[in-house]
Amino acid sequence: MAWRSPGEAALAIRVGLVDSGVSEMQMHLVMGQKDFVGSGAIIDRLGHGAAIVERLLSSGTEFELCVARVFADQLVCTVDQCAEAINWLIAQKPIFINLSFGLRRDSEGLRAACAAAVASDVGLVAASPAQGDAVYPAAYPGVVRATGDARCASTEVAWLGSQQADVAGYVGDPATGHAGASIGCASVSARLLRMIENNPGSEFGGLVRQLEAEAEYHGAERKQ
């Protein structure tokens, strides 16, 4: 994996991103890229991927990105595109892959890609809605199901352990046009980045257990 072990020289923390790409200002973070929608470019035309990267940058941790672009002019992709993107990213050896979206359709190919990532010790952090039906890839075994929680400040997380989601983070500002489970997912990933920096060489499963133990909130938010 692309992070340092105790006693070794520092290496970049490598994160995989499946989304709509990155902004031109964020291209300096990209060390690997592949477009799965046909244009060959990964510049974000929707602003969604760029907003996710901004949340990752809020961690204050240095990292590099491997970007798989599956959204072009709208936040719609096929399960096959998503599966291909994950399979490609596994070969790039990121510590984890951020998947700030959810697909309604189950797929053997997508399920197999996620299983391959987990078997390769590549973590998967995927968005899950705060309510409603399960979505994929969040619903697959071994995937960290992440959402947003209004209790959480920018750096905080809530361990929910619910039928809906495992963990939640800062939900974002609706005034910016990007808020909800997708931003909450990226906020959780930002917290994981800080943990990776502070715990070099830790395996992903151990980081998730530590995340649960150190969460600022436990259990679902209680409505007044």
- Greatest C-alpha distance within the chain: 50
> Residue 132: what pLDDT?
83
Contact 94, 121 (CB under 8 A): no
- Residue 184: CB atoms within 10 Å: 31
pLDDT in tens, 131-171: 888 899 999 999 999 999 999 999 999 999 999 999 999 99
Length of the chain: 224
pLDDT for 11 = 65
Name the CATH superfamily for 13-218: Peptidase S8/S53 domain (3.40.50.200)
pLDDT at 223: 58
pLDDT at 8 (0 to 100) = 45
Element containing residue 187 per DSSP (H, E):
helix 181-198
Residue ranges per structural domain of the chain: 13-218
- Phi first, then psi: what are they for 49, rounded to 5°? -60, -40
Structure pTM?
0.92
* Distance separating alpha carbons of residues 22 and 49, to the nearest angstrom: 5
CB 196 within 8 A of CB 165: no
> CA torsion sign, 191 to 69 to 49 to 109?
negative
Residues lower than pLDDT 50 in the chain: 1-9, 224
Residue type, 160: L
Strands (E) across 59-95 are located at 63-69
Instruction: Using alpha carbons only, give the angle 206, 33, 61 rounded to the nearest 5 degrees.
Output: 45
Distance CA 149, CA 222 (A): 11
HSE toward the beta carbon, residue 110, CA cutoff 13 A? 22
